[in-house]
Amino acid sequence: MNKIIIVSITVATILLAVACGNKKSNQNESTDTPAVSSTTFKNVDNTVAEQINAVFQHYFHLKNGLVAADQNEAKAGAQGILSTINAVDVSKLTAEQKTIFDTQTGIIKENAQHIAETGDIKHQREHLGGLTNGVYALAKAFGGEKTLYYDYCPMANADKGGYWLSEKEEISNPYFGDEMLNCGETKEIIKR
């Protein structure tokens, strides 16, 4: 029975690696280029911009922890997100900015809380997509200090696909870590 399980896991891992490897080579032949977009709000209070940028930095800490399969680093990044997002001075936001911020912070807090409360890397990765949705919306609205990359892996979440934000152009997949580190492609480049 154990031999069957081990063989099944080995075959599944090989198939995933081959499938993702084939997608990557097809991507290199493609003429598709990532969409380039700019942020919605051009005038954001400097203090708020710094606070939101700190949220992005904690997100990257969390994401890089998942890339390294280090649940403690992912947890620390999630805790940083929670403390930083709660400290944003919403009184300095316009009504439109506040609406977007309030909508996304609920999503961000819920998923960051799950990641912060567990030491299970699989469970942390399950909440990366939801967290990314909220952080991506903030990035699209408020921007960051530098260019952000919105990346996608078609193999993540049981082949349903999964997105993440990155601070660098190179793909480092947080859904699989070193199992399929370079699986994915940049779908959008967000410039300030």
Span 125-176, pLDDT tens digits: 999 999 999 999 999 999 888 899 999 999 999 999 999 999 999 999 999 9
Residue-range definition of the domain harbouring residue 136: 34-191
pLDDT-derived band at 36 (thresholds 50, 70, 90) equals low
φ/ψ of 45, rounded to 5, equals -50, 135
Distance between CA atoms of 6 and 170, rounded to whole angstroms?
A: 33
Say if CB 182 and CB 173 are below 8 A apart: yes
pLDDT of residue 178: 87
Bigger pLDDT: 44 or 17?
A: 44
Q: What's the rounded mean pLDDT across residues 16-29? A: 41
* Full-model pTM: 0.81
- Whether residue 19 lies inside any domain: the answer is no
Cα angle, residue 97 at apex, residues 85 and 106 outer, rounded to 5°:
40
- Whether residue 167 lies inside any domain: the answer is yes
- Whether residue 21 lies inside any domain: the answer is no
pLDDT-derived band at 40 (thresholds 50, 70, 90) equals confident
- Whether residue 5 lies inside any domain: the answer is no
pLDDT-derived band at 8 (thresholds 50, 70, 90) equals very low
Query: Per the structure, how many domains does the chain have?
Result: 1
Is pLDDT at 87 greater than 60 in this prediction?
A: yes
Q: What's the rounded mean pLDDT across residues 120-126? A: 96
- Whether residue 6 lies inside any domain: the answer is no
Say if CB 156 and CB 176 are below 8 A apart: yes
pLDDT-derived band at 18 (thresholds 50, 70, 90) equals very low
Distance between CA atoms of 175 and 66, rounded to whole angstroms?
A: 7
Residue 176 sits in a domain whose CATH number is 1.20.120
Enumerate the β-bridge partners of residue 148. 190
pLDDT-derived band at 23 (thresholds 50, 70, 90) equals very low
Q: What's the rounded mean pLDDT across residues 41-52? A: 91
Is pLDDT at 60 greater than 80 in this prediction?
A: yes
Question: Helix (H, G, I), strand (E, B), or coil: what is residue 162?
Answer: strand
**b/e map of 84-98 (b: 16 or more CB within 10 Å)?**
bbeebeeeebeeebe
Bigger pLDDT: 93 or 37?
A: 93
pLDDT-derived band at 38 (thresholds 50, 70, 90) equals low
- Whether residue 142 lies inside any domain: the answer is yes
Q: What's the rounded mean pLDDT across residues 84-93? A: 96
- Whether residue 177 lies inside any domain: the answer is yes
- Whether residue 126 lies inside any domain: the answer is yes
